[in-house]
Amino acid sequence: MAGSPVTGFSPAAPLLDVKNLQVHFAVYGGRLRVLDGVNFSMRSGERVGLVGETGCGKTTMMKAILRVLPTPPAKIPAGEILFKGRDILKMRDHELRAVRGRGISMIFQDPTAALNPVFSIGEQVEAVIRYSTSPGKASSREETHQRAITALQEVALADPERLLRSYPIQLSGGMRQRVCIGMALSTRPEILIADEPGTSLDVTIQDQVLRLLRKLVEEKDTSVILITHTLGIVRETTDRVYVMYAGNIVESAPTARLFSQPLHPYTQGLISTVPRLTGGGIVSGIPGRIPDYLNPPSGCRFHPRCSQMMEICRTTKPPAFKMGDGHEVACFLYKDEAK
Amino acid sequence: MSMLNFLVRRIIYSFFVLLGLSIVIFIIARIMPGDPARMAVGARAPQWVVDQIREQMHLNDPLPVQYGYWLADAVHGDFGLSLVTQRPVTADIREFFPASLELVLVAGLLSALGGIGLGTLSARYKDTWVDNVVRLFSYAGVVTPSFVFAIFFVLIFAWELKWFPVIGRLSEQTPAPPVVTGLITVDSLLAGQFGTFLDALKHLVLPALALAMGAIAQEARITRATMADNLSKDYIAAERALGISEREVTGRFLLKPSLIPTVSILGLDIASTFSIAFLVELIFNWPGLARYGMQSMLNKDLNSISAVILVLGAVFVVVNIIVDIIVAQLDPRIRLSAARSE
Ligand SMILES: Nc1ncnc2c1ncn2[C@@H]1O[C@H](COP(=O)(O)OP(=O)(O)OP(=O)(O)O)[C@@H](O)[C@H]1O
Ligand code: SF4
Ligand SMILES: [Mg+2]
C-alpha cells in the first residue's frame, strides 16, 4: 500500500501516533475519566479497525484527534497526538486548519446530527470545499460549485443540483449519510475516520453505503480508521484492529491474527459471543456493563467482569505487552510471555 | 410562494386578534366607574346637557350596538376627542407615536446588537472572566427596572459628564425638520439637515439605552445559553473537523441556528418596551405614547386609553409578524413545514 509522499517526514514513521491520550469530561458531581491513556498508531495507507462496545470512548478518541471535542466539558490532561510527527494538541490555528479536512477528515456517527439543520446542503458542502483548496489557489464560486456537484456524484447521489439547494430535513437517512461521506471525502484526506458509517440505516442501505465507501477509499488509496460494531466488516476491510474497553486500548493486532488468536479476555469474549456478523450490539454475551467513568475500577478496568482476574489486576493497570508480529495486549496473563 | 401564503394567513389571524382586543377594550371602557358623558362635559354642566351628550354618544343603546358605533368610528380613525388635550385622539397619537417608535427602534437595535454581541462573547469565552462579567451584567440587567438605569444615566452622563443632553428630542436652538415620518432622525436625513440628525441622535442615546438594558441582558443570556448548547452539537464538531475556519464556524454556522430563540424573545421585548416606557419617557421628558397613555389612564380619558391600547395591540401584532418572517428566514424547518401544511 503506497503512502502519500510527504517532504520532511519519513514514510517508515507512523502517519498518526497517539500516545498516552487522556480525555476527561467535567460533569456535575466530578469528572468522567473516559480515555485513560490511549496508545494508537497507524501508517500511511493502512486501514485500521477500532472496535469496542458502546460508550467505550471510540468517538471521543476520534474527536480528540481532530481537537473537536466540546471544551468545556472535555479536558485533555495528558497525551500527544502526532500527525506526521507534529503534535496536533500543540498546533496553532492555522496549522490545525491544514490538518483538519485535508490531513484528517471524519464521517460522523450520526449523519442527521452532523449536518447543520439551518443551512442548505450546498452551503455546507461548498464551505468545506472552499477551505480544502490549497492555500494561494483560491477557487472561484463556479469552481467550488462544480466541485460540490462532483462530490455528491461520487457518492452516487442523483440530481446533485437540486440536492445542493435542499436542507437536511428534506433528505432521507441514506442520503444524509451519503452527503456526509461525500463531504468528508471532498477534502481528499490522507486519513479518513469513518465512525460507524451506516449504523443508523437499515441493513440493505447500510450495506450499499459500506460498499460505496470501500470502493472510494480504495480508488483514492486513503488511510482509514473504521469504527464499527460489526466484526464481519472489520475482518473484510481492515489491516489492523484495535480493541477498546472502557477508555483503554486493550489489544491490537493484524486483523487475521486478532481473529485467529485473540488474547485479551475481553477480545475473546467479543469474538466468541458474536451471534451473527451483522446487527446486534457487540458484547451482548459478556456479563456485566461498562464501568462508571466517575469512579472507574482500579487497576485493570476490565477486572470486575473478567473471569481470569488475578490479585494484581485489582491494583495495577496492565501495560501493553508486545507479543511479536505487531500483536500487543494489555493483560497481566501475558506478562511472562511478552517479548 | 409558501412564504406569501404564510404571511397572508398571519395577517388574517392578526385581524381577528385585533378585533378581539377591541371588544375587550370596549367592554373595559364601558364598565370603568364614572359616566363617560358626565366626564365629557365636566362636573358642573347641567343634567340635561349630560343627557343630550349621552344620546349623542349612543350610551343609551344596548352594548353590542354601542360597540358597532364605536368600531365603525375606530376603523375610520375616529376615536373621539381626548379629554385632556381637547384634540382628536388620532391627532395625539399621530404626534406621540412616532416619538416612541423612534425611541423603541433605537432601543431595539441596541438590544439586538448588544445582546447578541455580549451573548456570543460569553459563549465563546465560556467560564472565563469575560463570561462571568457578562453573566453578572445579565442578572443585574434583567432584575433592574429601566427607570433606574434612566436615572443613573441622567445623573452620570448628562449631569456630571455632560456628554449627552438631559431632556427632549431636540435642543432648543436646533431647527426641527419638516415632518414626514415623525421620526426626527429619518426626517432630518430626508431634509438633508445633518446637524439636526446628530442632535436627535444625541438625545436618543440615553433614553434608548436605558430602555434597552433589560432586553440586552435578556438577549445576552438567551444567546449565551443557546450558543453554549449548540457548541457541543455534532454539526459544529463536523464543520470544524472538515477544516472550516473557526471564524466561519462561530460567525456563521453557529450564529444562525443560535439566533432563533433570541429573535423570538427580542420581538416580545421590543413590543413590550412600548408599554413600559412611560417612566423613561417621563424622566427624559420624551413626548411619547407611553407617557401619553399613562396620563390618559390617570385622567380616565377613555377615548385616548382605547386608542393607545389598540395601537399597542397593533404594534404587538406587527412585531410578531416580523419576528415570524425572520425566524422562518433563519430556520428552513419552519419554512418547509409551513409549505407542507398548505
Ligand atoms: N460531551 C460529553 N460530556 C460528557 N460525557 C461525554 C461527552 N461525550 C462523551 N461522553 C462520555 O464518554 C463516554 C464515551 O463516549 P463515546 O461517544 O466516545 O463512546 P463510543 O465508544 O463512541 O460509543 P458508541 O459505540 O455508542 O458510539 C460515554 O460514557 C459518554 O457518556
Ligand atoms: S489484566 Fe487481569 S483483569 Fe484485566 S483482563 Fe487481564 S486478567 Fe482480566
Ligand atoms: Mg461513538
Measure in Å the smallest separation between the Cα of A185 and chain B Cα atoms: 10
Closest residue of A to B128, CA-based? A72
From residue B5, alpha-carbon distances to B1, B90, B176 in Å are 6, 32, 42
Is a pLDDT exceeding 50 seen at residue B20? yes
Write the pLDDT tens digit of every residue in B308-337. 888 888 888 888 888 888 888 888 888 777
Contact B333 A108 (CB under 8 A): no
More confident residue, B255 or A278: B255
A283-287, B2-6, B235-239: lowest mean pLDDT where?
Answer: A283-287
Residue A64 lies in a domain: yes
The reported pLDDT for the residue numbered B2 is: 66
DSSP collapsed to 3 states, B252-263: HHHHHHHHHHHH
pLDDT digits (tens, 9 = 90+) for B277-287: 888 888 888 88
Check which CATH number belongs to the domain holding A276 and give it: 3.40.50.300
Nearest 5°: phi and psi at A202? -75, 165
Q: Is residue A145 part of a domain?
A: yes
In a domain, A3, yes or no: no
How far does B133 lie from chain A, in Å, by closest CA? Answer: 18
Print the domain residue range for A27. Answer: 16-334
Residues A151 and A160: their CA atoms lie apart, in Å, by 9
- What contacts A83, CB < 8 A, 6 or more positions away? A15, A16, A99, A103, A104
* Ligand 2 centroid to residue A331 C-alpha, Å: 5
What is the H or E stretch that residue B198 is in?
A: helix B194-231
User: What is the phi/psi pair of residue A291, to 5°?
Assistant: -70, 165
Coil vs helix vs strand at B68: helix
Q: With CB atoms and an 8 Å threshold, state whether A114 touches B234.
A: yes
Please name the residue of chain B whose CA is at the shortest distance from the CA of residue A187.
Answer: B242
Nearest residue, CB atoms, B241 vs list A70, A106, A124 = A106
* C-alpha of residue A262 to centroid of ligand 2, in Å: 14
Nearest residue, CB atoms, B242 vs list A63, A72, A183: A183
Residue among A312, A331, A334, A336 to mutate when testing ligand 2 (max atoms within 8 A of CB): A331
Q: Which whole number is the average pLDDT over B216-221?
A: 93
Beta carbons within 8 Å of B104's beta carbon, 6+ residues apart? B211, B270, B273, B274, B277
> Which among B234, B243, B253 is the nearest to A100, CB-wise?
B243
Confidence of residue A1 (pLDDT cuts 50, 70, 90): very low
Cell of A270: 467479543
Query: Distance between CA atoms of A179 and A168, rounded to whole angstroms?
Result: 9
Query: What pLDDT score was predicted for residue A271?
Result: 84
How do A191-195 and A223-227 pair as beta strands?
parallel
A4 inside domain: no
Specify the pLDDT at position B219. Answer: 92
Q: Which residues pair with A226 in a beta bridge?
A: A49, A194
- Residues within 5 Å of ion ligand 3 by Cβ? A 59, 109
Q: Is the bond leading into A11 cis (omega within 30 degrees of zero)?
A: no
Model confidence band, residue A4 (pLDDT cutoffs 50, 70, 90): very low
Residues in chain A within 8 Å Cβ distance of B336:
167, 169-170
pLDDT of residue B42: 73
Q: Which residues are CB-neighbours of B66 under 8 A, at least 6 positions away?
A: B26, B30, B58, B59
- Please count the structural domains in chain A: 1
Is A94 among the domain residues?
Answer: yes
Do the chains contact at A117 and B257, CB–CB below 8 Å? yes
- Model pTM above 0.90: no
**Average pLDDT in the B52-66 region?**
82
Share of chain B above pLDDT 70, in %: 97
A300 domain residue, yes or no: yes
pLDDT number for residue B185: 81
Rounded Cα distance between A275 and A293, Å, is: 28
Residue B291 distance to chain A (closest CA, Å): 42
Q: Which residues of B touch A189 (CB under 8 A)?
A: none
The answer to whether the CB atoms of B243 and A119 lie below 8 A apart is no
Domains of chain B (ranges; CATH) run 97-331 (1.10.3720.10)
Residue A168: closest CA among B255, B235, B246: B235
State yes or no: ipTM above 0.85: yes
CA A245, A247, A250, A253 torsion-angle sign: positive
pLDDT tens, position by position, B154-180: 888 888 887 887 788 877 787 778 788
pLDDT at A5 over 50: no
* B242 → closest Cβ in A67, A93, A128: A128
What is the residue with the minimal CA distance to atom 25 of ligand 1?
A54
Looking up cell 452622563, which residue turns up?
Answer: B157
CA of A25 to the centre of ligand 2 (A): 26
A190 contacts in B (CB within 8 Å)? none
Cβ atoms of residues B288 and B273 within 8 Å: no
**What is the model's pLDDT at position A134?**
64
Q: What is residue A196's DSSP assignment?
A: S
Q: Which residues pair with A27 in a beta bridge?
A: A30
Q: Which residue has the cell 388620532?
A: B90
Percent of chain A topping pLDDT 70: 89
In a domain, A9, yes or no: no
Q: What phi and psi values does residue B338 have, to the nearest 5 degrees?
A: -65, -40
Strand segments, DSSP code E, in A229-335 are 240-245, 248-254, 321-322, 328-329
Peptide bond into A160 cis (omega under 30): no
Q: Does the residue A229 lie in any domain?
A: yes
Summarised one tens digit per residue, pLDDT across range B88-105 is 888 888 888 988 898 999
